[in-house]
Structure 1
Amino acid sequence: MSKEKEKETMEAKWNQMPREEVSEVRGVVMLKSTCDTWNKIWDFQAKPDDLLISSYPKAGTTWLQEIVDMIRNNGDVEKTRRAPINVRNPFLERINLPYVGVTRANDMPSPRVLKTHLPVQLLPPSFWEENSKIIYVARNAKDNLVSFFHFQRMNKALPDPGTWEEYFETFLTGKGLWGSWFSHVKGWWEAKDVYPILYLFYEDIKKNPKHEIEKVMQFLGKNLDENILAKIVHYTSFNVMKKNPMANYTFVPEMNHNVSPFMRKGTVGDWKNYFTVAQNERFNEIYKAKMADTTLSFSMDY
């Protein structure tokens, strides 16, 4: 089969795929498959040597996963390409896709690296009880909104986001998947004062990747030399990861990269290409009110 024909066949299959339905867990919108098996997720048994990578969706999760894997494997590129990223780091609350979820996590030998988008109040309590290390990465709300909108457009494993205008309202009102961005970033920000959580910012990693990767390295108790560090910076850069089939999700049939690439732009400030003046004013007003009770602050641009 020619590449063009293969592409058409994949496109046709994607078009025929149904979208996921949603439901709620304690007032937070989640995928129905997650809600239907919530007890299994909530009862998940974490271990003291687990590392959990957490974020609101499309905030730099895959980036951190690759950085962590490179650090743990001392910069060995071949080892980090041993398997697709969703196989290496099971996605706790995703139940109905292969190689993900608590079943995959339970089958893994320790030490495990796991991934979640759960808000802090829905994290399985065993993570707190076992004092497992957690890395949380946060991204400014405006860019996060744009990125998640495009991700839902191309991913049939998620509900249709609707039009840009509709999704803008969904995001602002906290009625989208995994709940309110505001509650998510603030909840994890507060938790870092009590539990072993390294709280990172997408914008900081873009601005000074070496410095932020060093933070992760220290958090993991690793001491790698400058050459290895430089190698990790290079291989976890956006342009390199975008071409890496073990990190860019090109193998996942639910994702149509012709609609929008999984790794789309990886920039700071792209929201300016989407927000109207009126939307920006409305967003700023709500943002100011929602963030008034926190010390947490974000860069909306470089």
Structure 2
Amino acid sequence: MLKTENKIRGVFGQCIKEKSYKKNEYPYEIRKLEDSINKKLLEDFSGERTGFVQIGKKKWFFPSGMAKQAEDFYNFEVRPSDIWIVTFPRSGTTLTQEMIWLLANNLDYEKASRIPLTARYPFLEFSCFVHPETKAEFIEENKHSNLLTDLVEKISEPLCDQLSQIKERRFLKTHLPLSLLPRDLLKAGCKVIYVARNPKDVAVSFYHLNRLIRTQGYKGDFPTYWRYFTQNLQPWAPYWEHILEAWNVRHEENLLFMFYEDMIKVEDLNGSIRKVQNFLGTKYTDAEINTLEKHLQIDNFRMNKSVNFDILKKLGILKSGEEDFVRKGKNGDWKNHFDQELNKEADEWIEDNLKYTDLKFPTQ
């Protein structure tokens, strides 16, 4: 085991002393966080039970399960026919999935309503977040039904081998940054759609998801969560590195970079659909595009059971008493969570990270 000691700034200003190890054929070191930081995180996030790791020089943050599968994701065999949705969490992923699947499948609304989005779009790394102990709890809670326990087993199984056996066109969802995805992703001929969203709304939505889904199990308040977010102590962080990796290759032929803010504006949703249609090479009439636009408008979308992760509700993986998986879907909800002091801190953090880039969010 290769050991190194690095110091990085941790949450609440503490320092983290890390141990690292390498996996064969994988170009990044995977380092364990120092015990005191792990202890604090495990107290606030009940879904993970072992601890957290960071990957590579950018220190991509993940639960312990990622260490077992990171190499598989990096070496996964991409097909030219694949369609990949890549986002930082809570950046408009679900809306984008539904839009693209329908555009690529002859606007088959009946089939889309019949087959849950989770089945149409496998979530590449979700199994990394199902800790063996939480999995055992889910199975125990669902032991009255063989069907439900089988579903728990299915969602907690690594996907790479399963995906390689799919014969038809594959639609894949991931929150992994481009640098941790297959090496030839942008050169294999497949279509990659990356969606970005402003960090304040992302953090608010991710906070609610962390409270809702038991694989995360966050128990704290929003100000504490915000500091975890900005200290890059949240899965898939660092946020800025994630977006900038995609922004810096936005001119690649097989990558379409979009902003969620543009997608959900009533006056821009139609244009976003047409932009995606051009990227995919599909052709639909104005009337068909208008019908899809109505289907995707947030008030209609929120009522769509196929996209609301109902299966996770049945399994008890989504907690009751929290906000739904598909929330408000609007710009500016962050104003309901940031007080004046926290907002000032957030603005300074955003300005500092945008200082040396031409990235600019539509709402700015």
The aligned runs of 1:72-151 (5 Å cut-off) are 72-95=104-127, 96=130, 98-99=154-155, 101-151=159-209
1:219 to 279, 295, 304: 279
State TM-score, norm by structure 2. 0.74
Q: Give, in angstroms, the shift of residue 284 of structure 1.
A: 0.9
Residue 298 in structure 1 maps to residue 326 in structure 2: no
Distance (Å, rounded) in 2 between the aligned partners of 1:256 and 1:229: 36
The aligned runs of 1:269-284 (5 Å cut-off) are 269-284=332-347
- The aligned residue for residue 20 of structure 1 is 48
More displaced 10-residue stretch of structure 1: 64-73 or 37-46: 37-46
Change (3 A) 1:161 1:170: farther
State how many pairs are aligned: 285
Change (3 A) 1:161 1:186: farther
Residue 45 in structure 1 maps to residue 77 in structure 2: yes
2:93 to 56, 61, 64: 61
- The aligned residue for residue 230 of structure 1 is 290
Q: Check conservation: 1:20, 1:156, Cα contact below 8 A.
A: no
Q: Check conservation: 1:90, 1:104, Cα contact below 8 A.
A: no
Q: Check conservation: 1:19, 1:157, Cα contact below 8 A.
A: yes
Q: Give, in angstroms, the shift of residue 161 of structure 1.
A: 6.0
Distance (Å, rounded) in 2 between the aligned partners of 1:104 and 1:228: 34
Distance (Å, rounded) in 1 between the aligned partners of 2:97 and 2:117: 8
- The aligned residue for residue 237 of structure 2 is 179
**Structure 1 SS opposite 2:114:** coil
Distance (Å, rounded) in 2 between the aligned partners of 1:233 and 1:256: 31
User: Deviations along 1:4-30, whole A, 9 cap, x unmatched?
Assistant: xxxxxxxxxxxxxx6134333322111
Which residue identity lines up with residue 288 of structure 1 in the other structure? E
2:256 to 198, 209, 217: 198
Q: Give, in angstroms, the shift of residue 196 of structure 1.
A: 1.6
Distance (Å, rounded) in 1 between the aligned partners of 2:120 and 2:111: 11
**Structure 2 SS opposite 1:199:** strand
Q: Give, in angstroms, the shift of residue 54 of structure 1.
A: 0.6
Q: What 5-or-longer segments of structure 1 have no aligned partner?
A: 1-17
Q: Give, in angstroms, the shift of residue 104 of structure 1.
A: 3.6
Q: Check conservation: 2:73, 2:180, Cα contact below 8 A.
A: no
**Structure 2 SS opposite 1:23:** strand
Distance (Å, rounded) in 1 between the aligned partners of 2:88 and 2:219: 16
User: Deviations along 1:85-108, whole A, 9 cap, x unmatched?
Assistant: 111111112225635732342232
Q: Check conservation: 2:186, 2:254, Cα contact below 8 A.
A: no
User: Deviations along 1:30-84, whole A, 9 cap, x unmatched?
Assistant: 1322222222222211111111101000000010000011111222211212321
Q: Check conservation: 1:161, 1:167, Cα contact below 8 A.
A: no
Q: What 5-or-longer segments of structure 2 have no aligned partner?
A: 1-45, 131-151
Distance (Å, rounded) in 1 between the aligned partners of 2:100 and 2:231: 33
More displaced 10-residue stretch of structure 1: 235-244 or 138-147: 235-244
1:258 to 313, 321, 326: 321
- The aligned residue for residue 31 of structure 2 is none
Distance (Å, rounded) in 2 between the aligned partners of 1:71 and 1:89: 14
**Structure 2 SS opposite 1:200:** strand
Q: Check conservation: 2:47, 2:214, Cα contact below 8 A.
A: yes
More displaced 10-residue stretch of structure 1: 221-230 or 36-45: 36-45
Distance (Å, rounded) in 1 between the aligned partners of 2:240 and 2:172: 23
Residue 209 in structure 1 maps to residue 272 in structure 2: no
Larger Rg: 2
- The aligned residue for residue 15 of structure 1 is none
Q: Give, in angstroms, the shift of residue 300 of structure 1.
A: 4.0
**Structure 1 SS opposite 2:305:** coil
